[in-house]
Amino acid sequence: MRKNAVARNLITLVSIVILNIAFGFSQVQHDINIMRHQAVPMKDGINLYADVYLPRDAGKYPTIVVRTPYGVQRDGMHETMIKFAQQGYAVVLQDVRGRYESEGKWEPFRDEADDGYETIEWAATQPFSNGKVGTQGGSYLGHNQWAAASKKPPHLVAAFPGVASTNIYANWISMGGAFRLSFNYGWGVVRMPYKIMLPQYWHSENYTTENLKYENILMHLPLMDGDLQSGNEKIQHYRDWLKHESYDDYWKSISDEERFDQVIVPTHTYGGWFDIFLQGTVNGYVGMRNHGGTAAARSGARMIIGPWGHGASKSFGGIEFGDHAFIDMFDRQLEFYDYHLKGIKNGVGTEKPVKIFYMGVNQWQGENDWPIPGTKSTNMYLSGDGAANSVRGNGKLSFDKPAMEKSDQYRYDPLAPVPTTGGNNCCGTPTPAGPQDQRPLETREDVLVYSSDFLTDSITIAGQVVMKLFASTDGPDTDWMIKLVDVYPDGYAMPVSEGILRAKFREGLDQIKLLTPNQVYEYDITMTPTANVFLPGHRIRVDITSSNFPQFDRNPNTGAPLGSDAKTRVAEQTIFHGAMKASNIILPVVPSPGRR
């Protein structure tokens, strides 16, 4: 806790003067005050506590509400709130229920809609507020904004949810029904247990430096008691996530995507092509553009996606995208709030609603919508002579559909999974995210590799990538992991899109249907959106395997409920291509940037 017991019982007014040079912001308009530890009463009697940042000059100001589970003094948060206050905003920065100074029980996701609604309305009626409220924050803080906005707070005017999930089950906890193990464990158990974990919770005669290594903890089976491996304590929300392995009412009740039509204010999403919550960024924009509850909400939807991970940067995953790749999201948020909360005509209302970064040519482009109007879905087909195992094999990828049916086989052993290397991940997981070179994985016999010829012309894609896969396995369940790769002339294999499907969810994430062993099924595997220009001299590649560990849990191939099985079995996998079983990847082809 950052305040001692005496300080928590006081309401203090801390007056500070910030020099322009201190934060590198040259147009400071106000000196500010900070009111610490302000009680925000909830209707159930719980008090949530907030720090309030105010321009020093007396008056009523448009107000920004930020609700965090990470502590209001988290690095960067304090400085950003100061900057907003310096620009003429009142800011309410609050610890969510059960975290740090706020009362109540911490249960991720479950209380954010109601608590957010009440906090927004409390803020709007305070002496410092002019009654116009916007919300701010990324990641979990972005989800908080979606949840509260769906309750239609009367004083909410605009929201800016960044790098945020919009469906906690489908684009946070899982992807294609596969459990995001390293993130869920690292976030839900290690970083965010019920109480703020203190060192004594790690003391046990059973724990050594070796068995506390993250990679060893994640190898533990069954997953259901994995929480005991690091903290020697049951974490109920983690166990609930495992218990509710399909998209059931437990998840639907907190899904923002079920309630886009209840959001009646303009929203602005942003994210990165390699962010773990990229699908939420896109779904938030598309959901509001098509289903927002008012005309203003629909027309006011905005989205920015850069070549980033879980936040804006100039380079990521070892790739330098250029200084221009970075966008100062504080400046962008300020433009958005100035337009909606202050009525400043700064161009936000007339600009193109989508701004995306095209990798390959490293260029920004404004777009009229998403999906980009005129997108042409283009099929590239798998082919080969039955030995596509590894980059040494004969797997091919082309625009021509093979006339003859053939197949490739590999063995998937959950005890020797393909290691996570790059991709859409984040936040302290043990392997780096982003456009990491895939060549080390492509030497494995349990990775099928299908490569195109060297390109003579550029091919530009922007949108959702989908894999249509014809495949069989010899057991009741397994996983299919797909990567779309841009192969550079020097061989560097840069992943630009990925997708996974747990086979028993082939008919929908809310339906569990085990497989008939050795039966061929047609799978539609939704992959991450992307924007990339495959340049002349490059090749387009598809990698197929059945694991990506520890980003996703290992499917034991037994068909047992998630997290319950300590045993695994080796699966014999067959991928079909050609004729009536023409496995293919569907690319969203668009004109090159600058040509529209």
Tens of pLDDT, residue by residue, the chain (596 residues):
334 333 333 333 444 443 343 444 447 889 999 999 999 999 999 999 999 999 999 999 999 999 999 999 876 889 999 999 999 999 999 999 999 999 999 999 999 999 999 999 999 999 999 999 999 999 999 999 999 999 999 999 999 999 999 999 999 999 999 999 999 998 999 888 765 544 443 334 444 445 557 778 899 999 999 998 887 789 999 999 999 999 999 999 999 999 999 999 999 999 999 999 999 999 999 999 999 999 999 999 999 999 999 988 888 888 999 999 999 999 999 999 999 999 999 999 999 999 999 999 999 999 999 999 999 999 999 999 999 999 999 999 999 999 999 999 999 999 999 999 999 998 867 788 999 999 999 999 999 999 999 999 999 999 999 999 999 999 999 999 999 999 999 999 999 999 999 999 999 999 999 999 999 999 999 999 999 999 999 999 999 999 999 999 999 999 999 999 999 999 999 999 999 999 999 999 999 887 65
Instruction: For residue 414, say if its preceding peptide bond is cis, omega within 30 degrees of 0.
Output: no
For residues 327-338, one letter each, b for 16 or more C-beta atoms within 10 angstroms of the residue's C-beta and e for the rest, the string is bebbebbbbbbb
Report the length, in residues, of the chain.
596
Angle at 417 between CA 505 and CA 276, to 5 degrees: 60
**Six-digit token pair at 503?**
């086979």
Q: What are the chain's domains?
A: 1-162 (3.40.50.1820), 175-250 (no CATH), 376-589 (2.60.120.260)
CA nearest neighbour of 593 among 394, 309, 366? 366
- What is the C-alpha separation between 178 and 557, in angstroms, rounded? 12
Looking up tokens 């970083």, which residue turns up?
191
- Which residues lie below 8 Å from residue 53, measured CB to CB, with a gap of 6+? 32, 33, 34, 81, 82, 84, 85, 90, 91, 93
List, for residues 446-463, the tens digit of each pLDDT value. 999 999 999 999 999 999
Pairing between strand 521-526 and 466-473?
A: antiparallel
Least Cα distance to 168 among 258, 292, 94, 97 occurs for: 258
Q: How far apart are CA 353 and CA 155, in angstroms?
A: 24
Strands (E) in 42-175, as ranges, are 47-55, 61-68, 90-95, 129-138, 156-162, 174-175
Which tokens belong to 329? Answer: 């999201």
Q: Is the dihedral of CA 141, 146, 151, 153 positive or negative?
A: positive
Give the start-end residues of each E strand in 183-339.
268-272, 302-306, 315-316, 319-320
Identify the three-state secondary structure at position 85.
helix
DSSP string, 332-343: HHHHHHHHHHH-
User: Are 493 and 487 spatial neighbours (Cβ–Cβ below 8 Å)?
Assistant: yes
DSSP state of 434: B
Instruction: Name the residue with tokens 């900057």.
Output: 83
Give the count of beta carbons closer than 10 Å to the beta carbon of residue 211: 12
What is the SS3 assignment for 463? strand
Q: What is the DSSP string of 254-279?
A: T-GGG-GGG--S-BEEEEETT-TTHH
CB 494 within 8 A of CB 462: no
Residue 369 · residue 354 · CB < 8 Å: yes
CA atoms of 465 and 354, how far apart (whole Å): 18
Q: Long-range contacts: 503-506, Cβ < 8 Å, 24+? A: 503/473, 503/477, 503/478, 503/479, 504/177, 504/476, 504/477, 504/559, 505/176, 505/177, 505/246
Strand, helix or coil for residue 181: helix
Query: For 9-57, how does the pLDDT look when each residue is reduced to its tens digit (9 = 90+)?
Result: 333 344 444 334 344 444 788 999 999 999 999 999 999 999 999 999 9
- The tokens of 174 are what? 């899982």
User: For strand 354-358 and strand 302-306, is the pairing parallel, antiparallel, or unpaired?
Assistant: parallel
Closest CA to 91 of 136, 49, 46: 136
**Cα-based distances in Å from 331 to 83, 145, 227, 328, 506:** 10, 19, 40, 6, 43
| pTM confidence score | 0.92
Give the pLDDT score at 76. 80
CB 394 within 8 A of CB 557: no
Taking Cα atoms as reference points, which of 100, 55, 101, 57 lies closest to residue 81? 55
| Total Cβ atoms within 10 A of residue 453 | 10
pLDDT of residue 3: 40
Take residue 79 and report the two structure tokens written for it. Answer: 């400085």
pLDDT, residue 408, reads 98
Secondary structure (H, E, C), 104-128: CCCCCCCCHHHHHHHHHHHHHCCCC
**Distance (Å, rounded) from C-alpha 218 to C-alpha 547?**
14
3-state DSSP call for residue 586? strand
How far apart are alpha carbons 329 and 307 in whole angstroms?
14
User: Quick one: the chain helix, strand, coil %, rounded to 5?
Assistant: 25, 30, 45
